[in-house]
Amino acid sequence: MSQKVENNRTQIKSPAKSPSTRRRNQRSHQAILQAASELLEEKGYGSVCIEAIATRAGVGKQTIYRWWSSKAAVIMEACATQATSEISTPDTGLVQKDLYTILQQLFNLLKKTPTGNAIAGLIAEAQTDPEVAKVFYEQFVQSRRQATYTILERGIARGELRSDLNLELAIDAIYGPVWYRLLLKHAPLDDSFAKELVNLAMVGIQV
């Protein structure tokens, strides 16, 4: 009898999480990201706060802070989710076309969705907040760099690009002007710029 009681106590102390609990948490997670995206579109990055996101999502602030360390982290994941769905790694068989295509995709994301203004705000905030810089790199920059790295590696394998190409430097050279224009807004992120930027990059990286 005592063994049965002890077993029951053990079961009470360590209850397994039910599938419904996991589903409810996942719904809350998605509701928060959706709320962040909606508020970003309505108000812009600077006017969005954790309280507003929590209210829109129908959760408490503590729920948000359980999964994210700051407003920037929530916004960045919302942006990254959208970016992942809208930017792929093209494979046309030519490096020049692949680079042009991935820049077109990025420009569309930055110009036609709330992500553009959010990214500009996050870049600015990252200059004084190491946590924001870390989140921005991991959630957004790294995936873009990896896609471009793949494009350049394929180009080397096909003999289009120099075998001694410094891939990291080449990627910096391609994306540096993009972030410069996004922040300063002195010139558009348009189709003409994408073509000229790729043509210029090809001069330095092709065989």
> Which amino acid, residue 64?
I
93 dihedral zone (left: phi>0; alpha: psi -120 to 50; beta): left
pLDDT at 11: 43
Instruction: Give me the pLDDT at residue 72, please.
Output: 84
Give me the mean pLDDT over the 27-47 stretch: 91
pTM: 0.78
Ranked by mean pLDDT, the top range of 5-14, 44-53, 121-130 is 44-53
Q: What's the confidence (pLDDT) of residue 7?
A: 46
Closest CA to 67 of 29, 22, 107: 29
For 132-142, what is each residue's pLDDT tens digit? 888 888 888 88
Distance CA 21, CA 44 (A): 33
pLDDT given for residue 5 in this prediction: 44
pLDDT at 159 over 90: yes
Domains of the chain: 2-67 (1.10.10.60), 79-205 (1.10.357.10)
Length reported for the chain? 207
- Is the pLDDT assigned to residue 13 strictly greater than 50? no
The tens digit of pLDDT for each residue in 61-99 reads 999 999 988 888 898 888 887 777 677 899 999 999 999
> How far is CA 113 from its chain centroid?
13
Q: What's the whole-number average pLDDT of the chain?
A: 86
Instruction: Using the predicted structure, report yes or no on whether residue 23 has a pLDDT greater than 50.
Output: no
Q: How far is CA 142 from CA 79, 138, 146, 166, in A?
A: 13, 5, 6, 17
Q: What is residue 120's predicted lDDT score, i.e. its pLDDT? A: 84
pLDDT at 167 over 60: yes
**Residue that has been written with the tokens 């680079």 in this structure:** 99
